[in-house]
Amino acid sequence: MGMTIMRRVKFNAGHRLFRHEGKCQFFHGHNYVADFYVTGPETDAVGRIIDFAQLKALLKGWIDENWDHGFLLNVEDENGLNAIRMVEPTKYFVLPYNPTAENMARYLLDEVCPNVLNELGVQAVKVVIWETEESCAEATLDQDDKREHSLFDSFQTDSFPTGLHW
């Protein structure tokens, strides 16, 4: 039998949505909540898929290092990138797409989780990003991407590298 656990991580970050037609085109921030759903084929001798503390250290560690109290920007947003680079000190992370809640969830599920959970015998199958108490986005692995025991059915440009910048 497969089992799934969820670990919640809270963080604060700013962003702006490139080419947005409303107020989200401006620099602003949110108190985000990220829910990570992790599955594994079996439990250990203690009865765990993975220790919640270990999961927190890995996932919150990545978020704290890369996103928390920083700005998330689209690689195509030259104006926003130029503006954020003028601030010292600065912390920003460049995504290959707009930093919407949907894309943030997708990036965490597709890029971050496989890297930080790589050697642990577990897999993130869903990430939910809460942008406000009323609004969230969910990224879920396709059935073909899931391990056998999962419980869920459910551009980079050469001109500017994506990732964290200090």
pLDDT tens for residues 118-139?
999 999 999 999 999 999 999 9
Give the residue numbers marked as catalytic. 24, 69, 131
DSSP annotation of 7: E
pLDDT in tens, the chain (166 residues): 678 999 999 999 999 999 999 999 999 999 999 999 999 988 999 999 999 999 999 999 999 999 999 999 999 999 999 999 999 999 999 999 999 999 999 999 999 999 999 999 999 999 999 999 999 999 999 876 654 333 333 333 344 456 666 5
What pLDDT is attached to residue 2? 75
What is the C-alpha separation between 129 and 10, in angstroms, rounded?
A: 10
What pLDDT is attached to residue 146? 57
59 Cβ contact partners less than 8 Å away, ≥ 6 residues apart = 7, 9, 34, 36, 112, 113, 116
pTM of the model: 0.86
What is the C-alpha separation between 95 and 138, in angstroms, rounded?
A: 17
Place of tokens 């001109």: 159
Query: Domains of the chain: which residue ranges?
Result: 3-165
Question: Hey, what CATH class is 3-165 in?
Answer: alpha beta
Q: Does the N-terminal peptide bond of residue 41 adopt cis geometry, omega within 30 degrees of 0?
A: no
DSSP annotation of 18: T
What pLDDT is attached to residue 161? 52
